[in-house]
Amino acid sequence: MGEKRTVCPRRRQVPLLVVTTLLVGVRTELVDPKFKEPIANVTASVGREAILSCVVQDLAGYKVAWLRVDTQTILTIANHVITKNHRIAVSHSDHRTWFLHIREVRQADRGWYMCQINTDPMKSQIGYLQVVVPPDIVDYETSTDMVVAEGRNVTLRCAATGSPTPNITWRREDGQLIHLGNGERVPTVEGSSFNLTKVDRLHMGSYLCIASNGVPPSVSKRIMLTVHFPPMIWVQNQLVGAREGQKLTLECSSEAFPKSINYWTRDKDKIVPQGGKYEPVLVDNAYKIQMKLTISSVSPSDYGSYKCVSRNSLGDTDGSIKVYPISSSNSNDSTNYKGKLRHNSGNDILEGNRDMLKEQDLELRGRKEHGGDVTDYDESSANSNGSSLLLVILVALCLCLHHHPQMRTLHPA
């Protein structure tokens, strides 16, 4: 009989492609991608580019997508932009860090954005895009240049938009302090408006409304405050003495707004002409005017009254200055005229005053003979001269007795 054999079945060969696919499938199922760090919030100015980043670890074959949370709009998946917004773009670094680009940022782009991994269940995290807007002044809600009468109340207003909400600061353009109604003076005023009570000429000037919110650039608007008031004049010296031939300058200070017409007049309100020996000069400083009239060489016809006149639409006013003559002898030796003793030593006291005493004595005798009032010859020094004369006479007698011993003893006749 023949021998019976047992045949073992042949093993089936698995294709290499299938094995590779299975291995990849097993590895994919074993990998668990996760976010390496949270999405950092981003702040961007209007018109600039904002970039949000999402860092993923062990992404493997999974994909990353960006979405707008509030509208549930899919923006990008992997390397593809899904939305039709041309300002959106996506990029990555080694499939690890995924960037969402938003160009030409608008205020409407402000909000939450989601980075999503298509695992099961899905994994996601969100970040916030803050859009800041530099300040902008709203013209129709802001004060314009103002003209007010002195003594009125004024309110200056300024409105601005921006994100964050801008702060409003007021200051004077010329850097001077702001005069408040309570008498206080401050360099700046905070707030969208501030009040000026009973404005006067010191309030007049340019004010700057400055809006800032930390987002450059800050903006400002210039508001001119004009205060109207009638002219006022100040004269420091109303009596001015001058010698013939000297150069003389008369001065007045004037304040007025609207700007005034200023000129000089002589007796009978005759306007002093410009040119020749007269030179009128005006020094203008805002609402203040310094008026000067220079006479190159004073002559007898120049003595008399002068007026500095200031006029505007609200009124007019003037100041008077009287020019009187003084002589060279009076100005150079005024002590002899007043009859004061010189401070010399010895007999020079008598020598220096003998003629003066003689002249005064003759003058007194002449006035007595004509019935005149002696007390009016020099009231300003009569009392002092009387005592001085008595003192001089006593000193003279003493000196005479001292130099002539024979006169010390009187012998009977």
Q: What is the pLDDT of residues 225-271, one digit of tens each?
A: 999 999 999 999 999 999 999 999 999 999 999 999 999 999 878 89
pLDDT of 303 strictly over 90: yes
Neighbours of 251 (CB within 10 A): 19
Q: What is the mean pLDDT of residues 397-411?
A: 46
Q: For residue 20, what is the enclosing H or E element?
A: helix 16-30
The CATH number of the structural domain formed by 236-325 is 2.60.40.10
Q: What is the pLDDT of residues 347-396, one digit of tens each?
A: 333 333 334 434 444 444 444 444 444 334 344 344 444 555 666 566 56
Mean pLDDT of the chain: 79
Do the beta carbons of residue 186 and residue 177 sit within 8 Å?
yes
Q: Which letter does DSSP use for residue 378 in this model?
A: -
Give the orientation angle of helix 382-403 with respect to helix 348-369, to 10 degrees. 130
What pLDDT is stored for residue 13 in this prediction? 37
In the chain, what are the domain boundaries? 34-132, 142-228, 236-325
pTM of the model: 0.62
Say if 142-228 and 236-325 have the same CATH topology.
Answer: yes
CB neighbour class for 290 (10 Å; exposed up to 12, middle 13-18, buried from 19): middle
Do the beta carbons of residue 137 and residue 221 sit within 8 Å?
yes
What pLDDT is stored for residue 343 in this prediction? 34
How far is 228 from 84, CA to CA, in rounded Å? Answer: 62
* The residue to which tokens 């499938």 are assigned: 25
How far is 116 from 72, CA to CA, in rounded Å? Answer: 12
How far is 77 from 65, CA to CA, in rounded Å? Answer: 4
Contacts of 58 (CB under 8 A, 6+ apart): 31, 32, 33, 34
Q: What is the mean pLDDT of residues 67-77?
A: 96
Secondary structure, 3-state, 296-317: CCCCHHHCEEEEEEEEECCEEE
Do the beta carbons of residue 261 and residue 267 sit within 8 Å?
no
What pLDDT is stored for residue 275 in this prediction? 80
Q: What is the mean pLDDT of residues 322-338?
A: 60
Q: What is the mean pLDDT of residues 191-215?
A: 94
Q: Which letter does DSSP use for residue 374 in this model?
A: G
* The residue to which tokens 């932009």 are assigned: 81
Q: Which letter does DSSP use for residue 257 in this model?
A: E
What pLDDT is stored for residue 331 in this prediction? 47
What pLDDT is stored for residue 395 in this prediction? 58
Do the beta carbons of residue 194 and residue 203 sit within 8 Å?
no
How far is 233 from 250, CA to CA, in rounded Å? Answer: 14
Distances 410 to 101, 150, 401, 404, 405 between C-alpha atoms, Å: 133, 87, 12, 12, 11
DSSP one-letter string for 131-199: EEEEEEE-GGGS---EEEETT--EEEE--EEEESPPEEEEEETT-PPEEPTTS-EES-EESSEEEE-S-
Instruction: Single out the residue of 62, 109, 44, 63 nearest to residue 83, CA to CA.
Output: 109
What are the residues facing 242 on neighbouring strands?
A: 325
How far is 84 from 394, CA to CA, in rounded Å? Answer: 124
Is the domain spanning 34-132 CATH 2.60.40.10? The answer is: yes
The CATH number of the structural domain formed by 142-228 is 2.60.40.10
What pLDDT is stored for residue 374 in this prediction? 39
Confidence of residue 121 (pLDDT cuts 50, 70, 90): very high
